[in-house]
Amino acid sequence: MRSAFVQSRVRVCTSVSKGTGWSAAKVTYVMRLTMALRARAVMSGSSAGSARPAQILYRPLFWTSFMLADWIIDNAWLGARTAVLSSASSKTAYGAAFLLQGRGCEVVGLTSRRNVAFTESLGCYDRVLAYEDASRLSPEPSLYADFAGDEALTAALRAHLGDALVHHVVVGVTNQQPGPAGTLAETGPGMFFAPDQMRKRIGDWGREGLDRRFADAWRRFAPVVEGWVDVVHSQGPQALKQVWHEVQSGRTAPRTGHVLVL
């Protein structure tokens, strides 16, 4: 049987293309490479059938979390004193927050009001704010790691922080509304591309050194996240269809992790 996993957020390829100025071909390449990395992460050390739910649900995404946190620290937080992460209840975002917390700057999570309590309970953010309360952010040098791809939120942060917004990097697109077409010069942010930082670190540490550091981070993260997720097991194409619609509509609770066998 083939194992399948469904994340609690959906990334929209067309939004990435329009929001960054990337060609459709480049977006397709990025998606294929990302899926290859995820498959490698899930299968590493065990078969799909024997993998623990935390490994299936988190380990593939944790590569992005790990490389993003490493990139931010490697670049001295890009001059920021605060790192602001949107879609803070998503697995990739709080994986990065887990690695960033206590490393020199404040880590603030932005999420929907209904997910504030859950996100606060994780304990990996120094502060958690609802999107509507983003104006409570201190006007100090800030890095915005954009997991949401919500243009209205981005505009609100730019208006509030002004020149204090020292860097804006797009990591994901959990918002389901595609943005207008634009170029990088027009939209401002760059797209975080984990393999670029991986190549740099392989040059710095070698492949074994990178894998060892990732494994060390995963060993710290994995036991903690088992208490952050309620795993729901399902089987068959009909279950996959039902879960897909549930996730796409935004009805899935942030604690829920779906693992399906087809």
Query: Residues 57-87: pLDDT tens digits?
Result: 999 999 999 999 999 999 999 999 999 999 9
Say how many CA atoms lie within 13 Å of 128 toward its Cβ: 21
First and final CA of the chain: distance in angstroms?
A: 6
pLDDT, tens digit, 9 for 90 and up, residues 199-242:
999 999 999 999 999 999 999 999 999 999 889 999 999 999 99
Let me know the angle formed at the C-alpha of 56 by 123 and 231, rounded to the nearest 5 degrees. Answer: 65
**What percent of the chain has a predicted confidence (pLDDT) above 90?**
58
For range 162-190, the mean pLDDT: 65
Contact by Cβ (8 Å): 169, 190: yes
How confident is the prediction for the chain on average, in pLDDT? 81
Under DSSP, the state recorded for 195 is: H
